[in-house]
């Protein structure tokens, strides 16, 4: 049975919760993001330290005269050394990863972290199910077949939801990691009758969770777990690369709700608060991104939004069509003579780590009197805010960075649109081709600029969604084929 909570413990968890709220507030703007991160670390430190200090295992005698010690395995005092060793190991892995990880791999890292949160929720739920008395969620009961631990019905609901959401988060995040890391293709993998299968599995999980409140048999719990692992896979596999930032945000929300559900099982208010904050903020971000992409939030949750079977439009590069190739000198001349240049960064810029030299190019153009702005698509890169983080890392002024809805109308009055490593977010097929996997997604209208300079490795590749871009072949487009960083470096030299 859960014991009474020390008021100082409740106060410490409240302080941690306030720190988490301040962290979210700080992360809402690039100018305050570092302060937000510090608040988050302080809050987590308080929560972890409070939990460690106040963890005192006890055995409650429920019925006088009955020897529960003979029925239950003794609850050993948690070894401080083992906990400290585990924390030290995790901290070492985290610090090493944080120092070595490249910004290009940050989306994969986020997906991997989400999977670990989901797996942790599954393991905690399994531990609670296998030894519920130790978690204070069950009473030992004598039956004709022997002694059993009868789990509280409310705890069964919490446990069922926690293991279901955690398993979905884990398997879904693993698929997202494989897609982001290039181990799986970015094109949607459309299974036959996937909507019927997904709906059937989801209904089965809900029914089993409800049934679990009446019957705590092992087959019910493990069936819920297995079906949840399966539906996580089925939900993410049909989603194409262009929609992957929404998936990352959605999985972030799932991981939060999984943590909150396990917080109820563990009677830990800090986990409940943190999980609810992460879950709600992730859901809000997913909704905002869906609106920005003209997607349905319900279809995101159901999975498989994007292309329909047989769709895909022009999925192969049309290299036999005429196109114009330019040089760094051509690009430098055109931009130096322009009144306004809009730079459109994409994942190719991230891969080439070209953000610093790109800012140098912009500074040289501004020194010559050219007005420079940056246009950011909501799903540019592989996770929400990916391009904003890269530009902030290169010290690009925040007042030069604009979101799609704030700058799209300016392309028609812009002399040069400089697109560096972006494809799907500038593809007009999203507005015209109903068979395209990106159809309906708002895109940056770069083709309306007087001149479009497109930095791309080669004409043979297509974007992450596997769709060719008609802008490559327009009369006002000049292709700059090279590594993004190398091309911009050559442009900077030409500007000198």
Domain boundary among 287, 302, 317: 302
Does residue 151 belong to any structural domain of this protein? yes
- Spatial distance between the Cα atoms of 89 and 85, rounded to a whole number of angstroms: 6
Residue 312 covered by a domain: no
Q: Given this model, what pLDDT does residue 63 score? A: 43
pLDDT of residue 152: 84
Residue pair 420/488 in contact (Cβ under 8 Å)? The answer is yes
Residue 280 has pLDDT above 60, yes or no: yes
Residue 272 lies in a domain: yes
Cα distance between residue 455 and residue 433, in whole Å: 24
* Residue 456 counted as domain residue: yes
User: Is 161 a member of any domain?
Assistant: yes
Q: Which residue has the higher pLDDT, 104 or 474?
A: 474
pLDDT at 60: 42
Query: Which of the pair, 29 or 76, is modelled with greater confidence?
Result: 29
CB 178 within 8 A of CB 253: no
Provide mean pLDDT across the span 100-121.
Answer: 82
Whether residue 393 is found in the same domain as residue 444: yes
| Chain position carrying tokens 């209208």 | 445
Looking up tokens 């279809």 gives 299
Task: Tally the residues of the chain.
Answer: 496
Q: What is the pTM of this model?
A: 0.73
The reply to whether 343 and 478 lie within a common domain is yes
Mean pLDDT in the chain? 81
Residue labelled with tokens 């988060």: 169
Domain count, the chain: 2
Residue 307 DSSP code = P
The parent domain of residue 249 ranges over 105-302
426, 446 Cβ separation under 8 angstroms = yes
Higher local confidence (pLDDT), 348 or 189: 348
Rounded alpha-carbon distances, angstroms, from residue 179 to 1, 247, 315: 44, 11, 18
Instruction: Flag whether 8 is in a domain.
Output: no
Residues 414, 276: one domain? Answer: no
333 and 457 assigned to the same domain:
yes
| 371 phi/psi in degrees, rounded to 5 | -85, 125
Q: Could you tell me if residue 14 is inside a domain?
A: no
**Residue 484 vs residues 244, 325, 480: alpha-carbon distances, Å:** 23, 15, 9
Place of tokens 């396990």: 262
Which band of pLDDT confidence, cut at 50, 70 and 90, is reported for residue 191?
confident
Nearest to 17 by CA among 41, 38, 43: 43
In this structure, are 274 and 332 located in the same domain?
no
Are the CB atoms for 243 and 293 separated by under 8 Å?
yes
Close Cβ partners of 237 (under 8 Å, ≥ 6 residues apart) = 175, 189, 191
Phi-psi region of 175 (alpha: psi -120 to 50; beta: other; left: phi over 0): alpha
Co-location of 126 and 181 in the same domain: yes
Write down the pLDDT at residue 415: 94
CATH code at position 344: 3.40.50.1220
Which of 97, 120, 379, 108 lies closest to 255, judged by CA?
Answer: 120
145 and 258 inside one domain: yes
Residues 391 and 467 in one domain: yes
Both 217 and 339 in one domain: the answer is no
Q: How far is CA 124 from the centre of its chain?
A: 22
CA pair distance 43, 41, nearest whole angstrom: 5
Say if residue 291's pLDDT is above 80: no
Check if the beta carbon of residue 332 is closer than 8 Å to that of residue 283.
no
Q: Are residues 157 and 294 in the same domain?
A: yes
**Dihedral (CA of 410, 412, 413, 417) sign:** positive
Contacts of residue 39, defined as CB under 8 A and 6 or more positions apart, other chains included, come to 19, 20, 22, 23, 26
Claim to verify: residue 429 and residue 390 sit in the same structural domain: yes
Residue 10 lies in a domain: no
Answer with the one of 285, 302, 319 that is the final residue of a domain: 302
Q: Which residues have a catalytic role annotated? A: 424
Query: What is the mean predicted confidence (pLDDT) over 105-125?
Result: 86
Mean pLDDT of 464-479: 84
Q: Beta strand pairing status for 340-345 and 477-481?
A: unpaired
Q: What is the pLDDT of residues 422-469, one digit of tens each?
A: 888 898 888 887 777 777 788 899 999 999 999 988 877 666 666 788
In this structure, the answer to whether residues 386 and 476 fall within a common structural domain is yes
């Amino acid at each position: 049975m859960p014991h009474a909570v020390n008021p100082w413990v409740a106060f410490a968890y409240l302080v941690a919760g306030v720190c988490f709220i301040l962290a979210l507030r700080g992360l809402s703007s690039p100018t305050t993001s570092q302060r937000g991160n510090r608040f988050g670390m302080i809050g987590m430190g308080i929560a972890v330290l409070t939990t460690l200090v106040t963890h005192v295992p006890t055995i409650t005698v429920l019925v006088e005269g009955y020897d529960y010690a003979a029925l239950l395995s003794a609850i050993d005092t948690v070894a401080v050394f083992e906990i400290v060793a585990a924390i030290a190991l995790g901290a070492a892995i985290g610090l090493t990863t944080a120092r070595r990880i490249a910004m290009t791999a940050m989306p994969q890292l986020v997906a991997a972290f989400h999977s670990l949160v989901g797996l942790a929720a599954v393991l905690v739920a399994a531990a609670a199910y296998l030894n519920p008395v130790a978690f204070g969620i069950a009473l030992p009961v004598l039956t004709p077949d022997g002694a059993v631990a009868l789990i509280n019905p409310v705890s069964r609901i919490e446990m069922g939801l926690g293991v279901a959401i955690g398993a979905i988060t884990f398997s879904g995040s693993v698929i997202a990691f494989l897609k982001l890391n290039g181990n799986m293709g970015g094109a949607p993998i459309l299974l036959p009758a996937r909507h019927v299968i997904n709906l059937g599995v989801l209904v089965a999980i809900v029914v089993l969770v409800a049934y679990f409140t009446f019957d705590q048999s092992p087959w019910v719990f493990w069936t819920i777990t297995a079906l949840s692992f399966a539906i996580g896979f089925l939900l993410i596999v049909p989603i194409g690369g262009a929609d992957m930032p929404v998936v990352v945000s959605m999985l972030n929300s799932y991981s939060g709700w999984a943590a909150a559900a396990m917080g109820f099982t563990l009677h830990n208010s800090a986990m409940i608060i943190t999980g609810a904050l992460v879950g709600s903020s992730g859901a809000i971000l997913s909704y905002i991104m869906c609106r920005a992409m003209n997607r349905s939030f319900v279809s995101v949750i159901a999975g498989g939004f994007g292309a329909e079977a047989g769709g895909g439009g022009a999925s192969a590069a049309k290299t036999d069509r005429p196109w114009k190739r330019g040089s760094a000198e051509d690009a430098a001349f055109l931009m130096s003579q322009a009144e306004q240049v809009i730079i459109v960064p994409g994942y190719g810029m991230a891969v080439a780590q070209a953000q610093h030299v790109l800012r140098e190019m912009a500074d040289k153009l501004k020194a010559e009197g050219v007005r420079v702005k940056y246009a950011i698509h909501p799903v540019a890169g592989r996770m929400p805010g990916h391009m904003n983080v890269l530009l902030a890392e290169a010290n690009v002024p925040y007042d030069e960075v604009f979101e799609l809805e704030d700058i799209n109308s300016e392309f028609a009055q812009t002399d040069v649109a400089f697109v560096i490593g972006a494809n799907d977010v500038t593809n007009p097929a999203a507005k015209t081709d109903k068979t395209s996997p990106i159809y309906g997604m708002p895109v940056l209208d770069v083709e309306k600029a007087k001149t479009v300079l497109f930095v791309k490795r080669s004409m043979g590749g297509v974007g992450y969604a596997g769709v060719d871009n008609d802008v490559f072949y327009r009369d006002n487009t000049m292709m700059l084929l090279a590594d993004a960083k190398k091309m911009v470096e050559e442009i900077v030299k030409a500007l000198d």
